[in-house]
Amino acid sequence: MTDRELMQMALDAMESFEGGTNGLYKGEFAEERKALRDRLAWPEPVLENPKFWVSTGMGHKRPLHVAPPKKEWVGLTDIEIIDISKATSVYGPDNHYEVLEFVASIEAKLKEKNS
């Protein structure tokens, strides 16, 4: 049994328990269920040549690897940029568009480096 199958089994059991109690334990295991759902949402790792293996018993082995979830790039909004520039004394009535342009070029470079 894989870790993913084991986590799904635990999640199913918790949800079944809550559903079978006529609301008596509503919200029970909420934090644990959320953690399991979050972890189950991670993509399955793809390993071509795994370097580490873990024994799962009875002579079976599986690759030892956990891939963190990939997050999409989220840039700053114009309002956030203006708020930051005001807080850092960069903002002024004459350089509003220059600040936005400057930050956009920094974000573009960061996106390029992180892709």
> What is the per-residue pLDDT across 42-71, written as a single tens digit (0 to 9) for each?
877 665 666 667 777 777 777 766 566 667
**Tally of CB atoms within 10 A around 96:** 14
- Residue 92 and residue 105: Cα distance in Å, rounded? 19
Give me the pLDDT at residue 93, please.
Answer: 58
Residue 32 has pLDDT above 80, yes or no: yes
| Cα–Cα dist 98/88, whole Å | 15
Please tell me which residue, 37 or 89, carries the higher pLDDT value: 37
Average pLDDT, the chain: 75
Q: Compute CA 93 distance to the chain's CA centroid, rounded to the nearest angstrom.
A: 39
**Domains in the chain: boundaries:** 3-63, 78-114
Residue, of 81 and 6, whose pLDDT is higher: 6
